[in-house]
């Protein structure tokens, strides 16, 4: 009887280990977004070759989210500074400003097109987007012209 109990206890201890598998990470997404003033998606983007100044999105306007709709964070890839969380579908303006202090500023209003962009983020490097349980997806933006 003791041997049976020991085998049962060992089997119960092993079952959770065998059946437990890591949860799939929520995949972060950054898509070029419409410039509310020009009403067009910038021509340089992940669907086209990088623009003449090296960015995926020369205007730095991105709709951010994830494949499952969970909140996402924006990461300054130059310093590692993290901003957010932001709900999926949030439109952000990101400016690469080497040497500047990373910052975020709410922009726009609740009326008209002024609310089309939620926040302006400045970072020293390119923008990254991640979820709470994923790696970072890189969203390239060029530094401003000198």
Task: Locate 79 and state its tokens.
Answer: 């310093």
Domain ranges of the chain: 22-139
**How far are the Cα atoms of 17, 98, 118 from residue 67, in angstroms, in the given order?**
28, 31, 20
d(CA 146, CA 143): 9
- What's the pLDDT at 32? 83
- What's the pLDDT at 88? 94
Global pTM reads: 0.71
16 or 64, which is more confident: 64
């Amino acid at each position: 009887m003791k041997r049976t109990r020991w085998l049962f206890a060992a089997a119960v201890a092993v079952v959770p280990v065998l059946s437990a598998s890591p949860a799939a990470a929520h995949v972060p997404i950054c898509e070029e977004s419409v410039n509310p003033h020009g009403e067009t998606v910038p021509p340089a983007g992940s669907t086209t070759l990088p623009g003449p100044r090296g960015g995926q999105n020369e205007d730095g306007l991105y709709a951010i989210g994830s494949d499952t709709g969970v909140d996402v964070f924006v990461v300054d890839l130059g310093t590692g500074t993290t901003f957010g969380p932001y709900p999926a579908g949030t439109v952000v303006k990101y400016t690469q400003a080497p040497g500047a202090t990373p910052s975020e500023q709410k922009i726009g209003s609740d009326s008209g097109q002024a609310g089309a962009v939620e926040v302006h983020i400045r970072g020293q490097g390119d923008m990254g987007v991640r979820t709470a349980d994923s790696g970072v997806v890189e969203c390239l933006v060029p530094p401003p012209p000198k």
